[in-house]
């Protein structure tokens, strides 16, 4: 089916965080400036936060339009139809027979992580992450008195792998209580294989470390790539995990608060629900329920088209770097619509690199250093955008770097 992803959609005047605000220091909620960037040739290109510049699937828009026409937006709850749509999606896309009773809904994955850290650790306990990694992981630990421990990924020959020996050592610490797995991994775009994930499951179970699997990008796969849901790896994995996911990244529904938490282990699920009740988190809003059901029932053709387009953007960027900017290297993505690229050969420190891209090239990326020290010298770009925006960004990078 043909879907137009090439036409730029002007997002000015929609309160878009991506296009109308600047976040200093990569800390959401702090030091925000409101400043529109859409000013013709002088605009700053917003290619940072994981928010697509594509319209949602038309069935989702139609379902929400029908809900708006009803005119009453009171307290809402999930129905059997909702659960049927959700469980059918996981069965079809991931081969995972999720049971209705395993599902808990929350406003978002980051709020969920805060609840998990608060409910499953004590102040001074340790939370293991794999840097460079999605930076809110650091904040949710700090917010709740836990210490972040990095099981840093190994970067070799332009790609990443897990350091399982280091994970074994760090999981053996009696203070280690949680391991936050990012799968597919943000920012590097790696889709972890079954063998690596099974090793993680065994290490964490052996040492009594609970796995919290952030799988929010699990549906965003480049053509030919297969995703392994962590809890499908057998009883050892399923019995020791909290899975966090959502249709939000998949279908561009970020602010509809549609997070889905899947916990097969009843005791862990009940403990999580107690922590959730203590946090007084609200239930889903009526639009989130409608959008989730419509997306999971009718959004698959749109998603497949998006990922084909994203794959084309990744090829475009890889080929451009090879021809025009050979010092820059793309870490070849397998999933997500976020692309991680290596700028270390430029020999710039983190502040110089940020200034080059933001002030000179006028492109707003998520700077690599906000994902941990292991990300210094890298940039994360959101390529879920019309090709004209990507081409403009590539040309600006070339011109800025050649002027060094």
- For all residues of the chain together, what is the average pLDDT? 94
Could you tell me the pLDDT band of residue 40, with boundaries at 50, 70 and 90? low
Banded pLDDT at 29 (limits 50, 70, 90): very low
Q: Which pLDDT value is given to residue 2? A: 78
Tens digits of residue pLDDT in 177-208: 999 999 999 999 999 999 999 999 999 999 99
Q: Using one digit for the tens of pLDDT, what is the confidence trace for 104-156?
A: 999 999 999 999 999 999 999 999 999 999 999 999 999 999 999 999 999 99
Distance CA 145, CA 116 (A): 12
Query: Alpha-carbon distance 257 to 306, whole Å?
Result: 22
The band of 23, judged by pLDDT with boundaries at 50, 70 and 90, is: low
- Residue 229 CA, chain-centre distance (Å), reads 15
Does position 37 have pLDDT exceeding 60, yes or no?
A: no
pLDDT at residue 30 greater than cutoff 60? no
The pLDDT of 273-300, averaged and rounded, is 94
In this prediction, residue 239 has a pLDDT band, given cuts at 50, 70 and 90, of very high
> What are the DSSP calls for 11-46, one per residue?
-TTTT-HHHHEEEGGG-TTSSEEE-----GGGPPEE
User: What is the per-residue pLDDT for 1?
Assistant: 67
Closest CA to 381 of 53, 62, 48: 48
On the CB side of 380, CA atoms within 13 Å amount to 26
41 pLDDT more than 80:
no
Share of residues in the chain with pLDDT > 90 (%):
90
Position 283 pLDDT exceeds 80: no
Q: How far is CA 20 from the centre of its chain?
A: 21
Q: Residue 362 and residue 26: Cα distance in Å, rounded?
A: 17
pLDDT at 230: 98
List, as one string, the DSSP characters of 53-78. Answer: SSPPPHHHHHHHHHHHHH--------
pLDDT at residue 371, rounded to an integer: 98
Residues in contact with 111: Cβ distance below 8 Å, sequence separation at least 6, in sequence order: 259, 279, 281
- Give dist(CA 185, CA 244) in Å, integer: 13
Query: What's the distance, Cα to Cα, between the start and end of the chain in Å?
Result: 44
**Integer Rg of the chain from CA:** 21
Q: Residue 201's Cα: distance from chain center in Å?
A: 21
């Amino acid at each position: 089916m043909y879907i137009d992803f090439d036409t730029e959609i002007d997002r000015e005047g929609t309160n878009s965080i991506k296009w109308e605000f600047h976040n200093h220091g990569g800390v959401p909620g702090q030091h925000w400036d409101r400043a529109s960037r859409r000013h013709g040739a002088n605009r700053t290109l917003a290619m940072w936060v994981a928010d697509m510049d594509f319209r949602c699937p038309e069935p989702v828009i139609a379902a929400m339009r029908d809900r708006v026409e009803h005119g009453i937006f009171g307290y809402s709850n999930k129905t059997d139809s909702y659960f049927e749509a959700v469980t059918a999606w996981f069965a079809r896309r991931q081969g995972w027979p999720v049971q209705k009773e395993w599902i808990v809904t929350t406003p978002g994955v980051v709020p969920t992580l805060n609840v998990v850290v608060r409910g499953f650790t004590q102040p001074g306990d340790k939370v293991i992450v794999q840097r460079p990694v999605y930076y809110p992981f650091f904040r949710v630990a700090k917010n709740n008195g836990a210490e972040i421990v990095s099981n840093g990924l190994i970067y070799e020959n332009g790609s990443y792998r897990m350091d399982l020996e280091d994970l074994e050592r760090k999981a053996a610490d009696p203070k280690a209580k949680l391991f936050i797995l990012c799968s597919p991994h943000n920012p590097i775009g790696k889709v972890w294989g079954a063998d690596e994930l099974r090793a993680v499951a065994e290490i964490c179970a052996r040492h009594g470390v609970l796995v919290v699997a952030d799988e929010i990008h699990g549906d965003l796969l480049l053509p030919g790539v297969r995703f392994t849901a962590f809890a499908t790896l057998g009883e050892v994995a399923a019995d020791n995990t909290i899975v966090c996911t959502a249709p939000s990244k998949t279908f561009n529904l970020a602010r509809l608060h549609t997070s889905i938490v899947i916990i097969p282990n009843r005791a862990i699920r009940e403990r999580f629900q107690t922590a959730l009740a203590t946090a007084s988190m609200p239930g889903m809003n009526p639009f989130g329920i409608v959008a989730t059901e419509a997306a999971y029932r009718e959004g698959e053709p749109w998603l497949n088209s998006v990922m084909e387009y994203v794959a084309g953007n990744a090829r475009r960027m890889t080929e451009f770097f090879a021809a025009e900017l050979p010092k820059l290297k793309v870490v070849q993505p397998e999933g997500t619509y976020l692309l991680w690229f290596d700028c270390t050969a430029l020999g710039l420190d983190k502040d110089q690199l940020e200034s080059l891209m933001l002030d000179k090239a006028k492109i707003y990326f998520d700077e690599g250093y906000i994902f941990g020290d292991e990300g210094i010298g890298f940039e994360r770009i959101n390529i879920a955008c019309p090709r004209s925006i990507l081409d403009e960004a590539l040309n600006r990078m070339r011109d800025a770097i050649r002027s060094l």
